[in-house]
Structure 1
Amino acid sequence: MFPIRDHNPSSGTPYVTYALIVLNVVIFASYWPLFAEPYRLTVFFGDWALIPAAVSEGQRMHGFVTSLFLHGGLMHLGGNMLFLWIFGDNLEDDMGHTGFALFYLAAGLGAGLAQVLANPGSAIPTVGASGAIAGVMGGYLLLYPRARVDVLLIFIIFFKVIPVPAWLMLGVWFALQLFSGVSVDTASGGVAYWAHAGGFVIGLALTLPIWLRRGGPRGWSRTDGLPPHPEARYTLSRSNVPRVRKRRRR
């Protein structure tokens, strides 16, 4: 399942969400030429990524922040920015621009710390905004568990867009991170599952004050877990390509 949009429109312009997307894209473009020179790319990531072993020795602490704006490829960047675009605007609505910026940074720092604690001796550079974005997803789940999210379901050659409640899509995603973190050996590289799981939990925790101000469980009962405004509706436009009828042979 791959999310492509939600049905939860924001009431204002999410300037911080847009700025984060632009900043990540611009920074990625600035070192894109290094992908043609693997040695220089390795040195670059060694200088600016989060390296748990170095942090464990009290070195390169700046990696907690700089790693949040680095990505390992186009698909890595595109996937992260899509998730931020889908879920970030609503939390920015709820927290305000400054509050959301601080929330994003705190979730990213916490996600990095979770990765360091999980693999303190790892010398593998960790890059990506996914830990901070996982925090956004955790906060979204707490505030809008039944908001509808359109996901692209891919099964071999079968493709279909289906709407699912946010709790299902985000809950399955979080469960996969936990399962993979426990069962997959990431000592030689791969996905930073513990950063994802840690960021998600931290996002939940940081969103608790807003959830409690809205009544907590009573607020869920009052709104049935849905956003407090009418949901967005999407319709597929009809194709302008004319239909060609088959001619019968005589």
Structure 2
Amino acid sequence: MVIPVHDVNPVRRTPWVTYALIAANLAVFLSMPGMAGSLTGEGGLAQQCGLQAYLDHWAAVPQELIHHQLPRLVPTGDTGVGPRGPGCVIAPPDYDKSPELSVLTAMFLHGGWLHLLGNMLFLWIFGNNVEDRMGRLRFLLFYLVCGYASAYGFALTNADSAAPLIGASGAIAGVLGAYLVLYPRARVWVLVPFLIFLPLRLPAWIVLGLWFVLQAFYSAGQGVTDTGTVAYVAHVAGFVAGMLLAWPLRRGTPPPPEPRGILFGRQARPARRTW
């Protein structure tokens, strides 16, 4: 597994939509119950009950998306003691929920700091060039469409799942798919864990192609979205949607410049082509 840290692909204009999406994801995360001070999203019983109630309200649930059936009882966010000991209090929901709209709100929810920062890193590196090529409004619509495609793609393969689906991963997977189509030869600096983290500069088609192959491989297993698991099917669906939507733009996209100048503190050789 490689960790991308920077791409050698300058943009012509400031990617305000990419910045706004990152800011929105951070703001929503900080407003989630107990998330601001937690690295993984885990905590005490009161915090878990509050978070579970929050997610049942705002997260996308495959069962609700496919069957359009809302649960009769949901956690209230309070704790109590029952026959089996302490637990979360459940009651009929005191709110109305639109399953279709929940896909939109779920795109801005994350299960912990690691989940958030990992997604934002990929959006920061690859989103600016895709936005630059598509334009701001079209990029925003593209991002949301990929998010919906990933959520419904996962829901169709897990129609009876009641586990909440959260995160921007599906929409960002669409950004990665578009980047692969538009800039397959752009160089990407990555860190490869091999005893230490080794910095390498690789073409985007290797970095993103490897990422997609791994997601497709993992999705062949059990792809669920419960605590500690990842919805790999959603990543695959979002990536494919991004590729398809960006395909008509590939012919008119100028190639990225050859990397020159000082990169990672070392002087690159102008006349030399590297992989």
Please state how far the C-alpha of 1:184 moved relative to its aligned partner. 3.4
Over residues 43-89 of structure 1, what are the superposed CA-to-partner deviations in whole Å (9 max), with x where a residue is unaligned? Answer: 10111111101112215222211110000000000000000000000
**CA–CA distance in structure 2, aligned partners of residues 202 and 236 of structure 1:** 34
Please tell me the residue identity of whatever aligns with 1:8: N
Please state how far the C-alpha of 1:7 moved relative to its aligned partner. 0.6
Q: Using a 3 Å threshold, how does the CA distance of structure 1 residues 233 and 64 change in structure 2: closer, same or farther? A: farther
Please tell me the residue identity of whatever aligns with 2:30: A
Question: What are structure 2's unaligned runs of at least 5 residues?
Answer: 36-40, 70-98, 267-275
Please state how far the C-alpha of 1:96 moved relative to its aligned partner. 0.5
Aligned length: 226
Structure 2 equivalent of residue 219 of structure 1: none
**Structure 1 residue 172 corresponds to structure 2 residue 210:** yes
**CA–CA distance in structure 1, aligned partners of residues 160 and 260 of structure 2:** 47
SS of structure 1 residue aligned to 2:107: helix
8 Å CA contact retained: 2:223, 2:233: no
**CA–CA distance in structure 1, aligned partners of residues 56 and 12 of structure 2:** 41
**CA–CA distance in structure 2, aligned partners of residues 234 and 6 of structure 1:** 13
Q: How does the TM-score come out when normalised to structure 2?
A: 0.77
Q: Using a 3 Å threshold, how does the CA distance of structure 1 residues 232 and 130 change in structure 2: closer, same or farther? A: farther
SS of structure 2 residue aligned to 1:176: helix
Structure 2 equivalent of residue 28 of structure 1: 29
Over residues 135-164 of structure 1, what are the superposed CA-to-partner deviations in whole Å (9 max), with x where a residue is unaligned? Answer: 000000001111111111112x32211011
Structure 1 equivalent of residue 63 of structure 2: 53
8 Å CA contact retained: 2:33, 2:51: no
**CA–CA distance in structure 1, aligned partners of residues 22 and 122 of structure 2:** 10
Pairs within 5 Å for 1:8-47 = 8-33=9-34, 35=41, 36=43, 37-47=47-57
SS of structure 1 residue aligned to 2:60: coil
SS of structure 2 residue aligned to 1:66: helix
201-210 vs 56-65, which deviates more? Answer: 56-65
Question: What are structure 1's unaligned runs of at least 5 residues?
Answer: 215-222, 239-250
* Bigger fraction of residues in strand: 2
**CA–CA distance in structure 2, aligned partners of residues 172 and 52 of structure 1:** 28
Structure 2 equivalent of residue 83 of structure 1: 122
**CA–CA distance in structure 2, aligned partners of residues 202 and 27 of structure 1:** 25
Structure 1 equivalent of residue 6 of structure 2: 5
Q: Residue 243 of structure 2 is aligned with which of 204, 220, 225?
A: 204
Alpha-carbon RMSD:
1.9
8 Å CA contact retained: 2:147, 2:174: yes
Pairs within 5 Å for 1:1-250 = 1-33=2-34, 35=41, 36=43, 37-59=47-69, 60-155=99-194, 157-184=195-222, 186=224, 190-213=229-252, 226-227=255-256, 229-231=257-259, 233-237=261-265
Please state how far the C-alpha of 1:110 moved relative to its aligned partner. 0.5
8 Å CA contact retained: 1:92, 1:100: yes
**CA–CA distance in structure 1, aligned partners of residues 261 and 146 of structure 2:** 31
Runs of 4 or more, structure 1, over 2 Å off, are 32-36, 183-189, 229-238
* Bigger fraction of residues in helix: 1
Please tell me the residue identity of whatever aligns with 1:210: L
**CA–CA distance in structure 2, aligned partners of residues 111 and 185 of structure 1:** 13
8 Å CA contact retained: 1:177, 1:193: yes
**CA–CA distance in structure 2, aligned partners of residues 234 and 32 of structure 1:** 44
